[in-house]
Amino acid sequence: MEGVNTSKTAVVLFNLGGPDRPEAVQPFLFNLFNDKAIIGAPGPIRWLLAKYISKKRAPIARDIYAHLGGGSPLLPQTQAQVRALEQALGEGYRCFIAMRYWHPFAHEAARAIKDWGAERVILLPLYPQFSTTTTGSSVTDWHRAAKDCGLDLPTSLVCCYPTQAGLVAAMAELARTGYDEAKAKGVPRVLFSAHGLPKKIVERGDPYQAQVELTARAVSAAMGIEGLDWSICYQSRVGPMEWIGPSTEAELERAARDKVPVVIVPVAFVSEHSETLVELDIEYRHRADQLGIPGYVRVPALGCHTGFIQGLAQVALHPSRGEACGRLGRSCASC
């Protein structure tokens, strides 16, 4: 598929980012916790908290990234998605990466877009479900970066695409493959695992949890398995606050009681990184073994799956705000 485009259109892919070497872990964590979308305290207090938390958590995080060769694989994977998406979009489109907490930052992408001579910009988050802590934060950061470098172009935002047809079909295909593998150990339960959020953020109106539910329902239906046993769960909790649930560990414990194999589907992650390669593949797999779960299959993230890339191209070519918002009866902050 190729887009018909006689102008120069920059497509900005938003993602979290990740440290590229052990020395980058602590500054990466500082950038994360110094984001007011993550910690809403006043600036000076947030800065102090970010310094304290990043220093305290850095040794633990470095141990996690040691399993991945000392750094996150997120950037090279996003670069591969860039190449695939540019090919799908066709002439006149060029993709740029704007990571939130580590290089390449939004200001680097904005400068590159200006130097390229783009005529318009499409902001495309690699977060299918909108949250103020991910897409919302990246959009705010982008506008600041664009203003600082004098990049003033017509700009469209793809705020969310939790039920985009290509995404759903690709995820369902991968999940069916995992389900077929797990069937050797019994009748599987599919667990759609997403990064969690503090409950108070959702209570303030963040649509993330509702959009995760939209994706999980769409994918489970697309799997085409009658009587499919499935559930949504949340991982990666940090800190003492109450988070949305159930947790992935709680769902593993329930599966152990029910003596069923599990198929773990990353429902909000479109690339492999520490939450999938370490948390799901190592930590939760070990927990599943401890609990005596008869089978544990982890489905790959979407990555450069052709259906997913074609879906991204569709939403980039036809950016429409609020694809899911209308169905939820409320709007993303970006809309």
- For strands 155-157 and 189-195, give the pairing: unpaired
Main-chain phi, psi angles of 12, to 5 degrees = -100, 115
Assess contact for 295 and 186: CB atoms under 8 A: yes
Answer yes or no: are the C-beta atoms of 96 and 109 closer than 8 Å.
yes
Q: DSSP readout, 1-63?
A: -----SS-EEEEEEE----SSGGGHHHHHHHHHT-TTT--S-HHHHHHHHHHHHHHHHHHHHH
Is 143 annotated to bind a ligand? Reply is no
Which of 109, 121, 143 is CA-nearest to residue 333? 143
Q: Is 275 annotated as a binding residue?
A: yes
DSSP for 92-105, please give it.
TEEEEEEESSSSSB
* Residue 165 and residue 323 in contact, taking contact as beta carbons nearer than 8 Å: no
For the annotated binding site for Fe(2+), the residues are 195, 275
Known binding residues: 195, 275
